[in-house]
Amino acid sequence: MLYIGIDLGTSAVKLLLMNQDGKIEKIVSKEYPLYFPNPGWSEQNPDDWWNETLAGLRELTKGYDKNLIGGISFGGQMHGLVILDEDDRVIRPAILWNDGRSKKETEYLNNVIGQSNLSRYTGNIAFAGFTAPKILWVKENEPENFKKIRKIMLPKDYLAYKLSGVHCTDMSDASGMLLLDVKNKCWSQQMLHICGITADQVPSLYESYETVGTILPWIADELGFPESVKIVAGASDNAAAAVGTGTVGDGMCNISLGTSGTIFISSEKFSVDANNGLHAFAHGDGHYHLMGCMLSAASCNKWWMDEIIGTNDYKSEQNKISGLGENNVYFLPYLMGERSPHNNPNARGTFIGLTMDSTRADMTQAVLEGVAFAIRDSFEIAKSLGISIERTKICGGGAKSSLWKSMIANILGLKVDVIESEEGPGYGAAILAAVADSKYKTVEEAASKLVKIVETIEPNPQLVEKYDEKYRKFAKIYPCVKDLFEEII
């Protein structure tokens, strides 16, 4: 049998074809535009996602026996607001995860409704990227559009709807809406009321490995697929990446160095830290996870290389770096504001420690180290909960860099396991489709059999000690400049 994983990213949709033994047969990527209609705004057209996905499915399966396709599942960018009218037409462009327009609504939720109430209702507090503040923004600023809303969806779930005709979402993705009672895995009636919406306007809830329906006949006919192809709920990009890296079960860890960056810790039990510095979400394996999310990770390096230095030879620039743990230049990687653990959309990227002796390589090193230090901020919160982590998987575009992986290992003091496939979300989505098709009994079983470790980067005790000292200095910078960010925005 063959299984399709669809990874709906911010810049492109990546489609992956996997056989039942876990081998990746083919990968296709299709790009689409990203719109910034105002400073701090970020939008996309859901029909662009759909059109490129449909084209990608044709290209992906060309030359294969389509009768062997057993299921399609998804991993996708989180938090985006997709609103449909009574005819299931998109009302307005989707407001994305990295959109910062809902600062006022976020402050209302955290300060008027109150963080303690939000945490009690959902297990989380409000962040500008979450879906609930976006709903309130539309209600306040586009009342005519708000009145038209029949269904509220997340990005990947729009694709599932277009393929199956079912308005659905999964527990992991729904966790990031600030509408879900995560612990009890049901919609929070209090949050629906606060946002002025009803239970009829939110999609049906599924576990990530559950089948929501089968492919619509007309699409099956157009693509040459059998009508028996299962459409599977799928997971948020981070939960799908965790499945794709084998980060399932209790006490496992995954770090993703994508456009955004995350540290993802899986758990069989639901837990929340005292200050809600980490997200407490459901996982694609049917259990839970804690996650720290930074808004700019590999995108920091891309910005530095492409826009500032003006080169696409990333490897050559990194080869100039020497003296790990000795750099006196620091970088705060908050180019899009920051989420975990600071929850500050006004935070900005900052270099500090420059002297006449500072070099281009020092600044490149500071960018890479700054991302790793920011991930450690979230890791420290997990450790404060008594969670003991000795090793982590790693995925995302940044994970292709040997230097960056070494920095992660030594800055966090963890063994870093590199897996055979770097296609985290798409591979995880394909695994979820295979589980839904009963090729494996559980997500844990599938991951243990399919995900293979090919390399482990061991932390160097001397470097760990050096980076501990550097991290303590890094951790003092944000509190010192926090108030300044408010003044310069």
Residue 356 annotated as binding site: no
Dist CA 134 CA 72 (whole Å): 29
Q: Which residues of 345-377 are buried (b: 16+ CB within 10 A; e: fewer)?
A: bbbbbbeeeeeeeeeebbbbbbbbbbbbbbbbb
Residue among 334, 400, 402, 333 nearest 363 (CA): 333
CA-CA distances (angstroms) from residue 239 to 167, 234, 253, 335, 428? 20, 9, 11, 24, 8
User: Which residues contact residue 134 at a Cβ distance below 8 angstroms, ignoring those fewer than 6 apart?
Assistant: 79, 81, 95, 99, 101, 102, 105
* Catalytic annotation present for 237: yes
- The two tokens of residue 82 are 């997709």
DSSP count for the chain of H helices, then E strands: 17, 24
Annotation-wise, does 78 bind a ligand? yes
Residues composing the chain: 489
Task: Tell me whether the omega of the peptide bond preceding residue 341 falls within 30 degrees of 0, making it cis.
Answer: yes
Give the integer Cα–Cα distance in Å for 35 and 164: 28
The angle subtended at Cα 232 by Cα 245 and Cα 15, nearest 5°, is: 60
Catalytic residue of the set 48, 173, 181, 237 = 237
Which tokens belong to 282? Answer: 């459901």
Structure token digits, residue 481: 């400049």
> Could you tell me which residues are annotated as the binding site for substrate?
78-79
Catalytic residues: 237
